[in-house]
Amino acid sequence: MRYLPLAFDVKDRPCLIIGGGSIATRKARLLQKARARIVVVSPDITKELHQMVIDSSGEWHRATYSAEYLDLADLVIAATNSVAVNGSVSTDARERRLPVNAVDAPELCTFTFPAIVERGDLSIGISSGGAAPVLARRIRAQLEALLSPGLASLVDLAARMRSKVKASLPEARRKNFWEWVFAGPVARRAEAGQLENAEKEILAALQDWQGSPNPIGEVYLVGGGPGDPDLLTFRALRLMQQADVVLYDRLVSPEVLDLVRRDAERIYVGKRKAFHAVPQDGINQLLVDLALQGKKVLRLKGGDPFIFGRGGEEIDKLADASIPFQVVPGITAAAGCASYAGIPLTHRDHAQSVRFITGHLKEGSLDLPWGELASGSQTLVFYMGLTGLEKICAELVRHGLPVGTPAALIEKGTTQAQRVIIGDLNTLPSLAEEKAVRAPTLTIIGGVVSLHEKLNWYQAG
């Protein structure tokens, strides 16, 4: 590490910029955000920079650089288009032990400007020591996407409440309290701009924390998508990093599970044919019990929790127990797997509607509205339909769908192990057996399947 990351308090302090062009103006914008008093030495100056000087109660000296101007500064930026002038500024500033930055010349700098992610008074600097500024900016863009824009409001709330919390809780409990604030419903309300409600909730929680050793936790019901971790939402990823314990399904891919906080406790509650690691009622109760222990509980499901995921049953139990929860949708298997197979679910020439159907056999029967499903101009997507595939194809043909209707099986869709098997209602069951297709597999039936060969872009399996 060449540079030591530090945060300068420059509020109302004179910061000197040598130069008045576009580069100087960009540096001045950062100083303005930090509420510095901007002093400029340059024969010419941009209109924007001039206004920033006025707004900061600063000074503009219409002159070329000379060393005596350094006496006006606590911090110096050389932003001219002259290498010689910037070098002189750096040398003179070092002699005076003033921190100096020379734009695009790391060898002349005693400090550099990092790529900054800003949320009000919360700021994150990413620096490569001047070696790879483009890479630093790329990392900044990634962090910008991950961090909620409403964090500035949360920081303001914390600043207002800090003394109240300090007076109400002993030091040993304050850290855990703030962890709860920043990871729970208070943070969500603050980020949404509901500061008054957020403040009331903090005050109420302080009373609970003063009298209770185990304040109630929260449950995050999160859709993990069909398998590719790049398909996770930003909110899903944030909550996965906050959880104390995670309950995960069989359909959650290892790559997605790897993104959960490393020290979180992991509990497998997956289901497969004729075997449930934990019965659904047990899962519902476990979510309640863990939250009552004050834990942040991540219920991680493959796909979307409200599409054949029984997420509604789980949060119904949480609501009955007055447990705070939030739901994060995920890309459902139908959308994700079809896209990665090059099969559009709707298309003007083939399908004007799409239906998601559970193909799970219950007690050996599959009672579905076959007449409706066999009508044309629609796409049928069967979840959990591998076991009943022969019956599904036969019933659709029996109710009028042409035997040559294109059909596809997508095994482990969106992952590196994805396989796409293309056939029709007549051949698909035998192809599934011949290719030894295994769950998780999605079945898509309809004219759109005929587009796979042309539109297939994801070469896997």
Please state the residue numbers annotated as binding site: 22-23, 43-44, 226, 302-304, 307, 332-333, 384, 413
249: annotated active-site residue:
yes
Annotated binding site for S-adenosyl-L-methionine: 226, 302-304, 307, 332-333, 384, 413
CB burial of residue 392 (10 Å; 0-12, 13-18, 19+): buried
Q: How far is CA 380 from CA 81, 345, 359, 372, in A?
A: 64, 9, 11, 11
Q: How far is CA 87 from CA 27, 47, 101, 104, in A?
A: 18, 26, 10, 12
Spatial separation of the C-alpha atoms in residues 301 and 252, rounded to whole Å? 6
CA proximity to 296, closest of 283, 307, 287 = 287
The active-site residue out of 27, 249, 296, 317 is 249
Three-state DSSP class for residue 294: coil
208: annotated active-site residue:
no
CA proximity to 101, closest of 77, 131, 72 = 77
Three-state DSSP class for residue 383: strand
DSSP string, 71-109: GG-SEEEE--S-HHHHHHHHHHHHHTT--EEETT-GGG-
Q: Residue 107: what residue type?
A: E
Spatial separation of the C-alpha atoms in residues 337 and 347, rounded to whole Å? 16
Q: Residue 386: what residue type?
A: L
Pairing of strands 14-18, 75-78: parallel
CA proximity to 56, closest of 42, 79, 39 = 39
The active-site residue out of 74, 156, 271, 391 is 271
Spatial separation of the C-alpha atoms in residues 303 and 456, rounded to whole Å? 21
Annotated binding site for NAD(+): 22-23, 43-44
Task: Supply the residues annotated as catalytic.
Answer: 249, 271
